[in-house]
Amino acid sequence: MTIDAPEPDRTLYFDVDRSARIVADSFRNTPDPRLKQVLQSLAQHLHAFVKDVRPSTDEWAAAIAFLTATGQKCDEVRQEFILLSDVLGVSMLVESLADNAGERLTEATVEGPFHMVASPVRELGDDINVSGEPGERCLITGRVVDQDGAPVPGATVDVWQANSLGFYDVQRPDEMPQGELRGLFNTDADGRFHFRSIVPAHYPIPTDGPVGDLLRATGRHGFRPAHVHFAISAPGLRTLTTHIFVTGSPYLESDAVFGVKESLIVDFALLDDPARAAAAGLPNPFRHADFPVVLHREERP
């Protein structure tokens, strides 16, 4: 005596040839149409990748272990999955696809994993090198306009950078005060901003985790060229997340996270101008970088 069961339908069961379609079909009842689209596309591309490389079960287990270690490396001040996305060029691709508004606009680049704490609100002209980190002193100026050239007063300019050893404040909480080399500024009536800092240095991304293991295994270096991060926003304008890169920095041609765009390489010019140095509150001579920013004014719906 056996439990009666209908004759099984072969097409209901897993099959290598139809695997992507079977998995995509399992998402057919997803209420959110966008989530459904993303997961059905994921099923197609993920299964195509697996069929292309035909991993052994040991290789599959190694991939599971790598992803698990990547998740477990994350904490309040470390985001290893963003690093992984960065070194695979995915972060840069996402930023670039989202930033397709036109040639006259300032280009975007990756946010990176260190924009995790709120920058302190500061006044125009303030020094973000609050505790006097060693480094070449510089003045950074800029003006925010829209695509028609109209100035954007009151735009929020969020700035963050590493010190001359390549560390952000969150990476060295015992040595760097919180908010060091970060600042949240508002542009003046003419859309202008300016602040004091130090010229950033090139530095390696954190390589003491799974992403570092990946770079070592693949003969890739982990360095990023010298840069200052910006996130610039204002009502009615598309928020821009970008960097300026220092002209002549090493690794401009091989950024570990593929972040460099030619238009974002900015001259940190050495100025010998005692009057301007005194006005800015800097020793003479000093470096000066100017970053003109063009944001996209969104159409009203």
Residues 153 to 192: which contact its own copies by CB under 8 A? none
The single residue among 164, 186, 247, 284 that binds its own copies, judged by CB under 8 A, is 247
* Token pair of 165 as six digits: 């050893």
* Token pair of 30 as six digits: 């997803």
The single residue among 30, 141, 233, 284 that binds its own copies, judged by CB under 8 A, is 30
Residues 69 to 108: which contact its own copies by CB under 8 A? 69-72, 74, 79, 81-82, 85, 88-98
Q: What is the CB neighbour count within 10 angstroms for residue 143?
A: 19
The rounded distance, in Å, linking the Cα atoms of 241 and 138 is 22
The rounded distance, in Å, linking the Cα atoms of 149 and 159 is 23
300 is catalytic: no
16 or 189: CB nearest its own copies: 16
Distance linking the first and last C-alpha atoms of the chain: 68
Q: How far is the CB of 10 from its own copies (least distance, A)?
A: 6
The rounded distance, in Å, linking the Cα atoms of 128 and 123 is 10
Q: Applying CB under 8 A, which part among 152-160, 171-179, 188-196, 247-255 lies near its own copies? A: 247-255
16 or 275: CB nearest its own copies: 16
Residues 223 to 242: which contact its own copies by CB under 8 A? 241
Please name the residue that has the structure tokens 């970008």: 242
175 or 208: CB nearest its own copies: 208
203 is catalytic: yes
The rounded distance, in Å, linking the Cα atoms of 104 and 296 is 9
Q: Please give the positions annotated as active site.
A: 168, 203, 224, 227, 229
